[in-house]
Structure 1
């Protein structure tokens, strides 16, 4: 009962009213000076106390570390130029391989003529009695030519010979032979593979003593 009479006394009520007026006066004064802060002043204080702003030090350190790493990964342009110049100076000159001898011959094997070059191979008709890795000599040399002169046989170049080796005895590609007779119900389809020999040309020799014909010796046609 005493407590109730204390709160209901006129002196206590007058004191509370004076404090409320003083508080209202201070808030209204703040609103007149800074009007845009009057609405959310309490919310800003609560938010600032509840959720403090993060410290920016870790971000700054990470950024500095990344900048240093980028700086280390990107070398200076002057260093690159000096390295390129040193590489160009140290580079060795390109060695040109010697060209093979510009020499060819025309030989007759069976009933056909072939142009042969040393180091290359040709396919001829089957040579009977020749085995793989056997060395043979082709004596029917009709012509021998080089870059500057020519040896023309009449009909062959005497003492000239083409040395070769047998690489393989094989069959040529299949050829289809089809026979047909109309109104007779006659049809035949036959496949044939011709036996051939592959020769590797080793060298051309023996033509040096034969008289050669140069371009200067040939008379122009009038």
Structure 2
């Protein structure tokens, strides 16, 4: 049997023409319902002056504005005055007093020897019968020395004396005395404070007539 082609038949071509005309009528009808499609693009213009957009004012200040306002504030007047006073003050030269001759002595109080300097104080054993602010003289001067010369006593420096004043009669720091005996259950813990006297050295005098020994007179040890 010979096959029949639908595309070559006259009925198929008529059907296609009818569908094209129907589609054309439907599109033209839609263009009439929508008016803005019929207008050209050139006729559409944007009018910015008709409805201008409102401009919002910023309600938060910028950091630069706040910083500049702080920087432009005037400085405190008290600070300026203090700076001016510090600049005007001129350091006055300090007058250095001449140093006194450094002198020292070795004295014996009781059974102990002490090195004393004028203006300083020492602690000695309790001096019986001495009251506060009493002036005393220490006669047992074993040696007197300065930067250049030395007066050595044999055994004491003749006519030399150390003048002092009693500042206080007090007790020394506590010393713990502990006693123990083994196998006897014997334990003793005792605290002892030795009474002492505080002396302020005033001056050293009376040694000038005693023969002195200079450093140049001492022969070096070979």
User: TM bucket by the smaller chain?
Assistant: 0.5 to 0.7
* 2:60 is aligned with 1:64: no
Contact 1:168/1:199, CA 8 A, preserved across alignment: yes
Compared CA separation, residues 195 and 55, structure 1 to 2 (3 A): farther
CA deviations over 1:160-194 (Å, ceiling 9, x no partner): 00000011111111111111111111111111111
C-alpha distance in structure 2 between counterparts of 1:212 and 1:107, whole Å: 17
Normalization by structure 1: what TM-score?
0.63
Residue 96 of structure 1 deviates from its aligned partner by 1.9
Q: Give the CA deviation at 1:38.
A: 20
The more displaced of 162-171 and 89-98 is 89-98
> Aligned pair in 2 of structure 1 residues 78, 129: CA closer, same or farther (>3 Å)?
closer
Cα drift, residue 127 of structure 1:
0.6
Greater share of helix residues, 1 or 2?
1
- Structure 1 window deviating more from structure 2 (58-67 vs 160-169): it is 58-67
Q: Deviations over 1:119-165 (max 9, x none)?
A: 11100001111111110000000000111111111111000000000
Measured after TM superposition, the shift of residue 45 of structure 1 is 17
Aligned 8 A contact 1:30 1:38 in 2: no
Gap change, CA 1:52 and 1:12, over 3 Å in 2: farther
Name the CA distance, whole Å, in 2 between partners of 1:73 and 1:119: 59
SS at match of 1:105: strand
Structure 1's unaligned 5+ residue stretches are none
Give 3-state SS (helix, strand or coil) of 1:61's partner.
coil
The C-alpha deviation readout for 1:25-60, integer Å capped at 9, x for no partner, is: 999999999999999999999999999999999999
Kept in 2, the 8 Å contact 1:121–1:198? The answer is: yes
TM-score (norm 2): 0.63
2:117 and 2:21 mapped to 1: Cα distance? 122
Structure 1 residues 141, 127: closer, same or farther in 2, change over 3 A?
same
Structure 2, unaligned runs of 5 or more: none
Which is further off, 122-131 or 10-19? Answer: 10-19
Aligned-pair CA distance for 1:92 = 2.0
Structure whose CA Rg is larger? 2
Kindly state the Cα deviation for residue 95 of structure 1 after the two structures are TM-superposed.
Answer: 2.2
Is 1:141–1:160's contact at 8 Å kept on the other side of the alignment? Answer: yes
SS of 1:221's partner is: coil
| More displaced stretch, 65-74 vs 181-190 | 65-74
Aligned residue pair count: 222
- Measured against aligned partners, the alpha-carbon deviations of 1:59-117 in whole angstroms (never above 9, x if no partner) come to 99999998998777789999999999995894322222433431100000000000000
Kindly indicate whether the alpha-carbon contact (under 8 Å) linking 1:123 and 1:197 is maintained by their aligned counterparts in 2: yes
**Alignment RMSD, CA only?**
13.5
Structure 1 residue 196: Cα displacement: 0.6
Contact 1:105 1:141 in 2 (8 A): yes
